[in-house]
Amino acid sequence: MELIDEIVANAAEITAWRRDLHMHPETAFEEHRTAQFVADKLESFGLEVNRGLARTGVVGTLRAGTGNRAIGLRADMDALDLHELNDFAHKSRHQGKMHGCGHDGHTAMLLGAAQYLAKAKPFDGIVHFIFQPAEENVAGGKVMVDEGLFEKFPCEAVYGMHNMPGIDVGKIVVRTGPMMASADMFFIKIRGTGAHGAYPHRGVDPIVIGSEIVMALQQIVSRNVDPLESAVVSVCQFNSGHTTNVIPEEAILTGTTRAFLPEVQDMIEARMQQIVTGIAAAHGATATLDYQRRYPPTINTADETELAARAAAAVVGRQNVLNNVAPSMGAEDFAWMLQARPGSYVWLGNGAGEGSCMVHNPRYDFNDQAIAVGASYWARLAELALPRG
């Protein structure tokens, strides 16, 4: 491993920042203390600091040499609505909120890289350090893009990183193409005709129709998606009725779909529409589908991923850069930034084996052993993307 010495020397300080952030988790668009923390640190390193994009977003800009080429490095700052079950000293002090996805670590590592790069200036050009709010659920990254992130801070490419439990510390997963899936949501409302439970022939039963729709939706993935592609259709709620002897008027189904390709997303939506309205009509009911596109797939571009792999190899060695790990059916709002600019999103090993629980688990904690790895990766990436001379 070729960690950057100055970053290793600062690792205890960066760890202290990380734990401070962990103690004070803040959720979507309310990251006021976190944003202040980030802005104060960036200012103390001598960066230009811009605040207010997507309400609590912070962008720090660092220039070195005379070049005008620019890249963006992005970290997310938000926590989860989750009650932490850890009881170490740096556990959450905010009731019902927790840094259960490691964004405390992401923020600290990018600050650590900014601190080093501001001092050493080993690149020629402009690095924008993008600290975004509200990655979880409400796409703060999209809000930053919509509010002009890349017009105000032009970048030729943008890079992201997420910690990954189950991968050893000191390994980095790099992949061209889809890295994470789209996440769409659907709401189906079936209207039948209520009846006495003893006289079903006098009604139109939305529960039976809904059941048939649930089963038919399973065939989208098994019969309509190319077997060499990937997709998920999950019905996650089925609500209807209120007692044992009444056939209700209405049934509501909700759920999520996942895919890596926009054309698969389109096909899923179209097939769902046909199934929902077709099955309802076949039974004399009506049904509506509200299909909402939430997160696009996170797709890494080839050249920038090649650069990310070189930066990762410079830090952890080529043998620890993993390019054969399967993509995830989870979603990530960095996808919006990758729709706007080329770039690459990598996974940083957070540790495997005993005690390495998954993100969003109430016992999760970001692994501080990964801090110097992640911060060194960011610094090498800036160096390689914007070489001197």
Nearest approach, Cβ of 110 to Zn ion (angstroms)?
A: 14
CA gyration radius for the chain? 24
CB of 300 to Zn ion, least distance (A): 17
Residue position matching structure tokens 């959450």: 92
Site string for Zn ion, 52-91 (x = CB under 5 A): ----------------------------------------
Say whether residue 21 binds Zn ion (CB under 5 A).
no
> Which listed residue (135, 136, 269, 365) is catalytic?
135
CA dihedral of 193, 199, 200, 206, whole degrees rounded to 10: 40
Q: What is the dihedral of CA 44, 46, 52, 53, to 10 degrees?
A: -130
Q: What angle do CA 53, 54, 58 make, to 5 degrees?
A: 50
- Please say which residue, 121 or 360, places its beta carbon nearer to Zn ion: 360
The CB-of-135 to Zn ion minimum distance in angstroms stands at: 6
Q: Judged by CB under 5 A, which stretch of 97-105, 138-146, 173-181, 289-297 contacts Zn ion?
A: 97-105
Compare residues 103 and 380 and give the one whose CB is closer to Zn ion.
103
CB of 194 to Zn ion, least distance (A): 41
Q: Which is nearer to Zn ion, 193 or 328 (CB)?
A: 328
| Stretch of 8-16, 93-101, 210-218, 364-372 lying at the interface with Zn ion (CB under 5 A) | 93-101
> Which helix (H) or strand (E) element contains residue 268?
helix 262-282
Using CA atoms, how far apart are residues 219 and 181, in angstroms rounded to an integer?
20
| 8 A C-beta contact, residue 14 and residue 27 | no
Among the residue ranges 98-106, 145-153, 223-231, 300-308, the one whose residues contact Zn ion (CB under 5 A):
98-106
Chain centroid offset of residue 66 CA: 34
98 vs 101, beta carbon nearer Zn ion: 101
Of 36-44, 100-108, 255-263, 312-320: span binding Zn ion (CB under 5 A): 100-108
From candidates 38, 101, 264, 386, binder to Zn ion by CB under 5 A? 101
CB of 315 to Zn ion, least distance (A): 21
**Facing residues of 58 across strands?**
51, 131
CB distance 74 to 135 below 8 Å: no
Residue sitting closest to Zn ion (CB):
101
Find the angle CA(163)-CA(167)-CA(170) to the nearest 5 degrees. 80
**78 included as an active-site residue:** yes
Interface with Zn ion (CB under 5 A), residue total 1
Strand stretches in 124-208, DSSP E: 125-132, 157-164, 172-173, 177-180, 183-191, 195-196
Instruction: State the catalytic residue, choosing from 26, 76, 78, 269.
Output: 78
Nearer to Zn ion (CB atom), residue 163 or residue 240: 163
Considering only CA atoms, which of 4, 1, 36 is closest in space to residue 17?
36
Cα separation, 32 vs 361, whole angstroms: 24
Q: Least separation, in Å, of the C-beta of 353 and Zn ion?
A: 21
Please tell me the distance from the alpha carbon of residue 152 to that of residue 53, in angstroms, as a whole number. 10
Q: By the criterion CB under 5 A, which residues form the site for Zn ion?
A: 101
Active site residues: 78, 135
